[in-house]
Structure 1
């Protein structure tokens, strides 16, 4: 009986050790991946104006309002990077395979030297709803050979979208809200000598401002003409009744008199018809 209890205790201890080792192994982040993420975090500041919330309200979508917060604030070296907000690692290798920093209030630029491109095992990348003002979309995005999901919408990127096997499969929704982007699947073409220029200030702020001419339609024009005609008729009647100003009344009377004289002259020149007296 005592030996059976001892065997049960030994088995439970072994199961506990196996589960502990598996958990610690699955949460183990590679050192180079952690450094790359920390450097990527340091290349941005937190946007005090939540661009994602404003953009969501502009497009009548409140998904961004609910999910918008600075995810990178919780990132620090004392915690395994696989446990960081927005980061998902491969359980067996510890490589970062998913990075979701959508609506994270990131403000800054992404260039070809960004440590983001050190995460070569990325399969899913979501950077939507941040402000990468003045950033050209780097050709190094095309180096993510394992990438199956991409979302760069409403991130104020510009330039030509990289060409590659996986980039040919991404839909237009992956890039929507970036008027400076060109190439497939966007409507603007990079070829035929058309150079990609950074978006103008007007383009960058078109979602933040409403045109002062919005709502100015032909109905308003017709309404203005109608009121103007009525106002003119009323004022004309008042002037004729009060005989003020006199110079207008005089002009009207003189023109009327001339018309009457011309009519009388025409009638006087017309021969009268009738029988002659014998």
Structure 2
């Protein structure tokens, strides 16, 4: 039995009569205006395989009795509601869940480690909650996980610790841990082992079409940021791959190993404390469509290897300390000033600063002065020289006036009309009076 009343204008609490439908397998009430708490009698639906209550105004805690349903449930979506409290440890041995979406609530505490019992889990989204925890390294033991979204919580700690698995997250296509408090260097071990982001071949049947994935793909619902836009994705292609580590406290350099992910489509490392050079290995990610390395401490030039990224539509290198000429070939000829703003030592198109013909790594001095100069064309050096010269000339003229009382009109201007400068009198006062014999 299936009941789908999604995308209507239903309001109020969920009718209690629904909980008497013991043969109900699919319950879809998403995108309505339902409110109130979930009663424990929901767990009377022992045949339930799919539960979609997303995008409502439901509140309260997630009932512990869902433990009784974890062997039958495949899809469990309570996202975009007002649920609070802890995520209950309801995932027992034999858990059959493929997709869990609890994002956009007020859940707190830690991720329950009992999730490791859900060996069929392909998607976990707990973004936009109040969860405080370390990175769940133990999830490396979920062999089918394709989507892991932990963004906008209070996760912290170091992700570059030694991996507990030989092939961690080898099927992961979506990793979004943005807007948390992670520290330390970027997780090189993962960059070397994300097999689903390497050598992925496109074909006409790009969707993952195995029968084992049917339910998961049919009800995919991911809200992620792509190319600077917050988007809701309702499908997952085999070739869709994204890594978003932005707005954390990662430090150190960007490792060359990130170039191993040659099938990565979207990469966002912005708003961290990363430094050093942009690795030339990024040029190996030939299908990359969006690259955001903004608001860090990167230095050096833009590698010419990046011009090989012929699918690149969005580039943001702003607010760094990059130098030299901007590459001009392929996609780089399409990017505007906002891709480079805040890099005061970059030059070349599309910026107005021209590069020195003899040395492309140095800008012409007059262009640099124009950046910091005045609207009339004089830079700060010229102004300082002018003031210095004027000061010396002014002192000299002042001494002349005081010593000789000339020119007369200027003396009268400063000392008043009628002022008489008697040089002879001054000299007489300075000469000793001779005694008469």
Instruction: Tell me the TM-score normalized by structure 1.
Output: 0.48
- Decide which structure has greater strand share: 2
| Larger of the two Rg values belongs to structure | 1
Higher RCO, 1 vs 2 (CA within 8 Å, ≥6 residues apart): 1
